[in-house]
Amino acid sequence: MGVYYLASYLRRSGHSVSVIDGEAENLSSHQIGLKAKEFKPEIVGISSTTVAFHRALDVARETKSIMPEVPVVIGGPHTTAVVEDVLINPEIDFAILGEGEVTLSELVDIIKNKGELAGVKGLAYRQHNKIIVNTVRPFIADLDGIPFPAYDLINNLSIYNPPPTNYKRLPVANIITSRGCPNHCTFCGHSVFGRSLRQRSPQNIAEEIIHLYRHFNVREIAFVDDTFTINPDRIMELFKILDYENIRFPWTCMSRVNTVDEKILKFMKEHGCWHISFGIESGNKSILRRIKKNISLEAVNEIVSTCHRLNIKTKGFFIIGHPEETEETIEETIGFALKIPLDDVIVTLNTPLPGTEQYRTANQFGHLNSVKWSQYNMWNPVFIPKGLNENILLERQKQFYRRFYIRPCIIKRYFYSFFSKTGIRRALSLFRSLPFLFRSVKSSHK
């Protein structure tokens, strides 16, 4: 939703904005460039993660070949982490570091009025063959002051539908209620939103949900904060407001086990929560300490079991290939995942991203297997811990999935889910995806 936040902020500042989501609309880089030309833009902005940077660069090149006079600006976590590497590319004129709303708005004003770039905080650019990085812009303190995303610019909300296993009703809307993360996980970057947690007020969140419910017919919400449950009191206040407005809907969120207890989980269940994703990462205590996860396996077991008892579906996110990982610690992780009553798992390969502690220290604990950003997709073994190799990581990942899903308890659970309409959809989606998943894992090292 980041680009739609940027669009709404620019419009509030008096600018005309159009949005092209090339990934969601399955457009080629050339098609994106041609579509952008139709709008006769004065500036083109691109947002990119690390794994998508090669694609973003292709879009920038196509844009420049079609409209050489139009400046191209790029932002996102990858740009913020390695801005000088980004600006080496002549197709990119400007780079925005950190949060983009205010910086992009000021840059557009400067370009239109031919002003001075030096005064724009959070901006980087080339000048006289040198890369200039301006003063860092402070994070936006009052998130309630940012207008809601420009949902009216989305021609078809269904292009953002989650996988069938991840919703009960359509349309679904993603909502971000906070920025920043106070935790210190070594694999996670904080380059864009920082470590200081900033939260929207319950009233502001409720207003956005009511807006979506009444004007866009949205019938399910996915709260996509890294940790939606970090402030339980805020959750309770939010749903009291929605109760007063007589608005109820199924919803999902992401959480950490050390931010919830049975009381708040019961409240969440009573107010529509049906699925929670937890970052667990490893089933080995030493690995959890090494990656500074700050959770205990006992807490994971307790909270996942509580969710199971309350009939809240749970998904566990696990990573294989941590620093100091061994075949024994991987086996511990698989065994732990099999022991607790999770409904689903996502198992990725450790991918040290630019701007993270793991990226800075990768060579102390192993080696980076690739310098191609397109390989940094969580499925390719780009980091090889000491004592392991590419084949071990890939094979263990496949074993994890097979051993988790090919169990009587999981098969039985999905079998009984066929007795509901949504259950049929979710079960079929899961079993159809498994062969593809295994093929993807198998081919990822080719």
Strands 72-75 and 44-47: parallel
Q: Which of 209-213, 255-259, 423-427 has the lowest mean pLDDT?
A: 423-427
Query: End of a domain among 133, 149, 177?
Result: 133
CA triple 305-307-311, angle to 5 deg: 115
Residue 410 counted as domain residue: no
pLDDT of residue 424: 63
- Residue 99, CB-side half-sphere exposure with 13 Å CA sphere: 19
As a dihedral over the C-alpha atoms of residue 256, residue 259, residue 264, residue 268, rounded to 10 degrees, the angle is -30
Token pair belonging to 91 = 């197709």
Q: Are residues 264 and 381 in the same domain?
A: yes
Q: Are residues 202 and 348 in the same domain?
A: yes
pLDDT of residue 434: 55
As a dihedral over the C-alpha atoms of residue 409, residue 414, residue 416, residue 421, rounded to 10 degrees, the angle is 160
Q: What is the pLDDT of residues 323-376, one digit of tens each?
A: 999 999 999 999 999 999 999 999 999 999 999 999 999 999 999 988 899 999
Q: What is the pLDDT of residues 126-164, one digit of tens each?
A: 999 999 999 999 999 999 999 999 999 998 888 888 887
Share of the chain above pLDDT 90, in %: 83
Strand-pair partners of 366: 385
Residue 43 counted as domain residue: yes
Query: End of a domain among 369, 386, 404?
Result: 404
Query: End of a domain among 133, 149, 174?
Result: 133
Q: Which of 401, 408, 410, 396 is nearest to 436 (CA)?
A: 401
Residue 222 counted as domain residue: yes
Secondary structure class of 298 (helix, strand, coil):
helix
Q: Are residues 184 and 94 in the same domain?
A: no
Q: What is the pLDDT of residues 227-279, one digit of tens each?
A: 999 999 999 999 999 999 999 999 999 999 999 999 999 999 999 999 999 99
Q: Which of 117-131, 176-190, 214-228, 300-314 has the lowest mean pLDDT?
A: 176-190
Q: Are residues 109 and 172 in the same domain?
A: no
Distance separating the N- and C-terminal Cα atoms of the chain: 33
Residues 6+ apart with CB under 8 A from 203: 241
Residue 146 counted as domain residue: no
pLDDT > 70? residue 441: no
Instruction: Characterize 410-420 residue by residue with b for buried, 16 or more Cβ atoms within 10 angstroms of its Cβ, and e for exposed.
Output: beeebeebeee
**pLDDT range class, residue 395, cuts 50, 70, 90:** very high
Instruction: Characterize 298-309 residue by residue with b for buried, 16 or more Cβ atoms within 10 angstroms of its Cβ, and e for exposed.
Output: eebeebbebbee
Residues 6+ apart with CB under 8 A from 437: 401
Report the pLDDT averaged over residues 202-223: 97
Q: Which of 103-107, 142-146, 195-199, 223-227 has the lowest mean pLDDT?
A: 195-199
Let me know if 38 is exposed, middle or buried by CB neighbors in 10 A (0-12, 13-18, 19+).
Answer: exposed
pLDDT > 70? residue 443: no
pLDDT > 90? residue 40: yes
Residue 93 counted as domain residue: yes
Whole-model pTM: value is 0.92
Q: Are residues 38 and 119 in the same domain?
A: yes
pLDDT of residue 440: 43
Residue 446 counted as domain residue: no
Token pair belonging to 204 = 């502001």
Q: Are residues 184 and 55 in the same domain?
A: no
Q: Which residue has the higher pLDDT, 196 or 307?
A: 307
pLDDT of residue 435: 53
Q: Give the CATH number, domain containing residue 244.
A: 3.20.20.70
Report the pLDDT averaged over residues 38-49: 95
Report the pLDDT averaged over residues 377-388: 96
Cα(381)–Cα(384) distance, integer angstroms: 7
As a dihedral over the C-alpha atoms of residue 84, residue 86, residue 90, residue 91, rounded to 10 degrees, the angle is -150
pLDDT > 60? residue 408: yes
Q: Are residues 114 and 198 in the same domain?
A: no
pLDDT, averaged across the chain: 92
8 A C-beta contact, residue 295 and residue 331: no
Range from 16-20, 187-191, 417-421 that averages highest in pLDDT: 16-20
Q: Give the CATH number, domain containing residue 129.
A: 3.40.50.280
**pLDDT range class, residue 415, cuts 50, 70, 90:** confident
Q: Are residues 102 and 251 in the same domain?
A: no
Q: Which of 208, 202, 193, 190 is nearest to 228 (CA)?
A: 202
Q: Are residues 45 and 103 in the same domain?
A: yes
Q: Are residues 175 and 289 in the same domain?
A: yes
Give φ, ψ of 235 to 5 degrees.
Answer: -60, -45
pLDDT of residue 192: 59
Q: Which of 297, 284, 294 is nearest to 323 (CA)?
A: 284
Q: Are residues 16 and 96 in the same domain?
A: yes
Total tally of structural domains belonging to the chain: 2
Residue 240 counted as domain residue: yes
Task: Identify the residue whose tokens are 């866009």.
Answer: 216
pLDDT of residue 414: 74
Residue 412 counted as domain residue: no
Q: Are residues 234 and 282 in the same domain?
A: yes
pLDDT of residue 305: 99
| Full domain range(s) for residue 83 | 2-133
